[in-house]
Amino acid sequence: MSIKLRLFLILILATGAIWLSALFWIDRSTRTEVERVLDARLAEAANMVSSLISDRRIAVGAVEELRPWSPDAPDYSRQLFCQIWSLHGDLVSASSGAPDEQMTHEEGFSTNLIEGEEWRVYSVHNQELGVWVMVGDRMLVRDRLVFDVVKGLLKPALMIVPLLALMIWISVSRGLAPLARLETALSGRSSHDLGPLPEGPAPREIRPVRHALNQLFAAVERARHAERDFTAFAAHELKTPLAGLRTQAQIARMAPDAATRDRALQSMIASVDRTDRMARQLLELATVEGDQAEIAPLSPQDLAEEVCEELAALAAARKVTLDLRIPADLRVRANRLLLYAALRNVVENAVLASPAGGVVTVDSAQSGGMLRLSVRDQGPGIAPEERDRITERFYRGPQAVAGGSGLGLAIASAAMERMAGRVEFSHLTPGLEVGLVLPLA
């Protein structure tokens, strides 16, 4: 169901409920007012008859000749009936059509069942003549009169219902016109058009939507550029070692001696290692930039030990010592795969950056409910002007490790962001300290 139709139905139902409530109120108030007026006419008629017979203007037995109605009076006036009863219970006089049964035994107003019909009666006691003067009408006549009055009031109300519905539909259409224009602007775009929606006058409710859409378009455009850069870089970086592998294989095949063949094979192994590292980092980058990760308490020491064990062969080959100093009782809130990817890439970068005989230290410090896992190396470090860019994907500065892909710190930064953490950098002499900051469990 469209918003337009839903809003129209809501307004129609709300207006209909108010309209029906108004009709009910009109019916009740009209009925009450008509009853009050008719009761007043009953009392007026009874008092008039009592006054006339007291003044001897008419005889007590001649009520029929002076019924309280005129030829020009409304039909209701012809429905009034009069009785005069003595104090002894004898019928003295009655108007034509009046019931034979005494209409009431009470003074004033009363509602009685007479000859199977409900009557409204007003009775007045004439003490001078010693009689009761009673004037009444049928409730059926009253109900018909009330119905006619209410019907006359409701006809105009019923006639405006279609007009009211039309006005509501037009109002809803005009109110949603900015949304319709936004829909037209979006539906007319191609899949490659990610430019911002034009700024201009718009209702307050539409402006946040337009702003959010422009932010989304900008984010998608950045992601598309990053994807193109990623694809181009991956193709280039994979092509280079593959071409090197082919060249070294040809050299090894045509080597005139064992020494030349061994050097070619060693170069092939280095190219394979570089390709393997880059492929692993590309997969890790896809993982850390994926869906929301599950966060749970875990031991950073256990994770750091796994990282050091995996990189032990690389460290030994480069004659670098790994020094792990994380207490066993620490717990952080993190995702195991993400923290492992971040720590492994930072430690691997530190090993590759350290000179032979260097030491890579992995330790921890607590502050303000956060844990900082620090990785310190003794390499060339990073210039201060480069620190804002070293977490960009594929960025490689002048001091970059030979054979690196520029993905290690990008992976670490993306992984930490997904765990509500951050990456910090501190300059050492010599070397660099990379801090992975996470909430304590």
Q: What is the pLDDT of residues 141-163, one digit of tens each?
A: 888 888 888 888 778 878 888 88
Residues 213 and 197 sit within 8 Å (Cβ to Cβ):
yes
pLDDT digits (tens, 9 = 90+) for 175-212: 877 777 777 777 777 777 778 777 777 777 778 888 88
Check whether 63 has a pLDDT greater than 80. no
Give the CATH class of 3-163.
Answer: alpha beta
Instruction: Determine the Cα–Cα distance for residues 267 and 274; give it in Å rounded to an integer.
Output: 11
* Token pair belonging to 3: 């918003």
**CATH topology assigned to domain 210-288:** Helix Hairpins (1.10.287)
Instruction: Determine the Cα–Cα distance for residues 247 and 122; give it in Å rounded to an integer.
Output: 124
Phi, psi angle pair for 394, to nearest 5°: 70, 10
Helix/strand/coil for 422: strand
Instruction: Determine the Cα–Cα distance for residues 308 and 352; give it in Å rounded to an integer.
Output: 14
Amino acid at 203: P
* Token pair belonging to 63: 């009520």
Instruction: Determine the Cα–Cα distance for residues 131 and 126; give it in Å rounded to an integer.
Output: 5
Instruction: Determine the Cα–Cα distance for residues 315 and 288; give it in Å rounded to an integer.
Output: 25
380-404 core/surface letters (b: 16 or more CB in 10 A; e: else): bbbeeeeeeebbebbeeeeebbeeb
Do the strands 332-334 and 296-298 form a parallel or antiparallel pair, or are they unpaired? antiparallel
Do the domains at 210-288 and 293-439 have one common CATH topology?
Answer: no
Sequence spans of domains, the chain: 3-163, 210-288, 293-439
CA distances from 278 to 24, 229, 284, 408 (A): 79, 15, 10, 9
Burial of 214 (0-12, 13-18, 19+ CB in 10 A): middle
Residues 399 and 418 sit within 8 Å (Cβ to Cβ):
no
Element (H, E) at 143: helix 139-175
Among residues 24, 5, 10, which one has the least CA distance to residue 157?
24
Positions of E strands within 273-395 = 296-298, 321-325, 332-334, 359-367, 370-376
**CATH topology assigned to domain 293-439:** Heat Shock Protein 90 (3.30.565)
Mean pLDDT of the chain: 81
pLDDT digits (tens, 9 = 90+) for 307-334: 999 889 889 989 999 999 999 999 999 9
Q: For the ranges 302-306, 336-340, 361-365, 394-398, which has the lowest average pLDDT?
A: 394-398
Please tell me what DSSP assigns to residue 124.
Answer: E
The reply to whether the predicted model has a pTM over 0.85 is no
Q: Give me the pLDDT at residue 230, please.
A: 63
Instruction: Determine the Cα–Cα distance for residues 260 and 258; give it in Å rounded to an integer.
Output: 6
Q: Give me the pLDDT at residue 93, please.
A: 87
Matching residue, tokens 């310190």: 376
Residues 414 and 285 sit within 8 Å (Cβ to Cβ):
yes
Check whether 72 has a pLDDT greater than 60. no
* Token pair belonging to 218: 């900008």
